[in-house]
Amino acid sequence: MKQRILNMIWQPETFLIVLIGILLTAMGRLDASFLQWEVQRALSSHVWELAIIAIPMTLIILTAGIDLSVGSVMGLSAITTGMLFQKGLPLPLACSASLLVGIFCGFLNGWFITRMKVHPLIITLATMAAYRGMAEGISHAKPVSGFPDSFTWLGQGDWFGLPVAAWVFAVMVGIVLWMMHGRAFGVGIYAIGHNETATRFSGLRVDRYLVTLYTFSGFASALAAVLFVARRNTAKADAGMGMELGVITAVVIGGVSIFGGRGTLIGACLGVLLIHETREFVSWHWNRDELNLLALGILLILSVVFQKLLRHKQGSAI
């Protein structure tokens, strides 16, 4: 019994909840207005795109992979929506096309990774440049705006008291949690992360899993792009610039091991919450965005260092 309680305390999720609690209390002391429900709801509109992309990123990092191209896929999808809308296509069609572009980008990532047998980081580094470059090339770095209200509602409007994007996120988390929990799909992902070769020899179609995950990542990025365009009422090639860093940091802070095989989706969501509150508070209270850049970079490195230390401790105890 004692052991079980100890185990529960040692979970990264417990740590995160305590940490978020402490941070929020401190923020409330410094600036009570920050914690008001209305303020929080308004500020939350900044995070849903990141949160949506964090779902597939968690799964990919669980397989010991990484996807650096998510921000660029967002850029390319945003531009697809914008350019097609400008050409006079009805918006539902333009959005579907941009989702297709995202799915295709993600599929291409997965295809290259499984065929070329090169580490995902170098493939997605290359496609990060290629997709962003295509977005810039197609649009000549010019923005498209003037979307109708029915579309911007997706990004700016509320539905049952929460932003539409929040509902999209909730549905996606629900589905993925259901898929992961005690189902072959979830077990397979953890197995690949623990030992890819062994998983391959045990007859699991590892390549199929990986292609699916990277395609899912492309789809989620495109979905985030559509919501982003609707929220800003502008489609521009630099949509989602630097998104990969925020997403990866959130997932890693959430206790998902960058070496694969360990971590949970709930943890990653808590990581997203932690990053979001910290970021918004720095902007809200000090109004210094460069501090955010610094903090985000350092947090990413420190959280991996911390993970290693923690793992070391656990390893030696057993």
Q: Which residues bind other proteins (CB under 8 A)?
A: 66, 68, 112, 115-119, 121-123, 125-134, 136-137, 140-141, 242, 244-245, 248-249, 252, 258-259, 290-301, 304-305, 308
Distance from chain centroid for Cα 88: 31
d(CA 47, CA 276): 6
Q: How far is the CB of 296 from other proteins (least distance, A)?
A: 6
Give 71 or 155: the residue with its C-beta nearer to other proteins: 71
d(CA 253, CA 295): 13
CB atoms within 10 A of CB 234: 16
Give 178 or 286: the residue with its C-beta nearer to other proteins: 286
Give 142 or 181: the residue with its C-beta nearer to other proteins: 142
Q: How far is the CB of 144 from other proteins (least distance, A)?
A: 15
In contact, 229 and 258? CB cutoff 8 Å: no
Q: How many CA atoms lie within 13 A of 32 on its CB side?
A: 0
Q: How far is the CB of 83 from other proteins (least distance, A)?
A: 14
Q: How far is the CB of 228 from other proteins (least distance, A)?
A: 20
Give 119 or 183: the residue with its C-beta nearer to other proteins: 119
Give 132 or 155: the residue with its C-beta nearer to other proteins: 132
Give 162 or 258: the residue with its C-beta nearer to other proteins: 258
Q: How far is the CB of 203 from other proteins (least distance, A)?
A: 24
Q: How far is the CB of 58 from other proteins (least distance, A)?
A: 15
Q: How far is the CB of 136 from other proteins (least distance, A)?
A: 5
Q: How many CA atoms lie within 13 A of 181 on its CB side?
A: 8
Q: How far is the CB of 28 from other proteins (least distance, A)?
A: 26
DSSP lists the bridge partners of residue 235 as 144
Give 4 or 140: the residue with its C-beta nearer to other proteins: 140
Residue 3: both structure tokens together: 């052991």
Give 184 or 301: the residue with its C-beta nearer to other proteins: 301
Q: Which of 65, 105, 64, 97 is nearest to 81 (CA)?
A: 97
Residue 10: both structure tokens together: 């040692």
Could you report how far apart the first and last alpha carbons of the chain are, in Å? 17
DSSP 33: G
Residue 142: both structure tokens together: 């010019």
Q: Which of 236, 225, 213, 230 is nearest to 61 (CA)?
A: 213
Q: Which of 38, 57, 270 is nearest to 163 (CA)?
A: 38
d(CA 177, CA 268): 12
